[in-house]
Amino acid sequence: MLAGKCLCGAVHYAVKDEFVYALNCHCSNCRRATGSAFKPFAGIEHHKLSLTRGGDNLLIFGDERAAHDVHCKTCGSLMYSVVREGAFVHVTLGTLVDNPAIRPTAHIFVGSKAPWFTITDQLPQYDEFP
């Protein structure tokens, strides 16, 4: 199990180190949600993530019954996104306290990446989600 938490420490989670994929997303929504050039995330089945503290301190952005982002209500940290009709979560790698076994394998939505950011690694780049 890996531990993760928000910036202020009000929300903690545990997730199995069994991620299925990891990517760097450059879409405008992820850039705005993180305030960064891209969002590194890892995808895993939703039932493999559990909140261990601060479940009453969550801010849900989006449709709670469908795709949505889960933030800490106090500090605003984006913890994870619920996707694929609730079956998966995209855990923001920056909120992990522990080191996951997986690493991002590609850049996605580079067709809409920030024009001021240059990708300098050799990972594959896709205009959309492959």
> Structural domain boundaries of the chain?
2-112
Q: What is the pLDDT of residues 78-88, one digit of tens each?
A: 999 999 888 99
Would the pTM of this model clear 0.85, i.e. be above it? yes
The model's pLDDT over 8-37, given as tens digits with 9 standing for 90+, comes to 999 999 999 999 999 999 999 999 999 999
Q: What is the pLDDT of residues 25-79, one digit of tens each?
A: 999 999 999 999 999 999 999 999 999 999 999 999 988 888 899 999 999 999 9
What fold does the segment set 2-112 form as a domain? 2.170.150
Residue 129 near residue 41 (C-beta atoms within 8 A): no
Identify any residues that bridge with 45 across adjacent strands, giving them in sequence order. 88
The answer for residues whose C-beta is within 8 angstroms of residue 4's C-beta and 6 or more apart is 12, 13, 14, 15, 79, 91, 95, 96, 97, 98
User: What is the number of other CB atoms lying within 10 angstroms of the CB of residue 94?
Assistant: 14
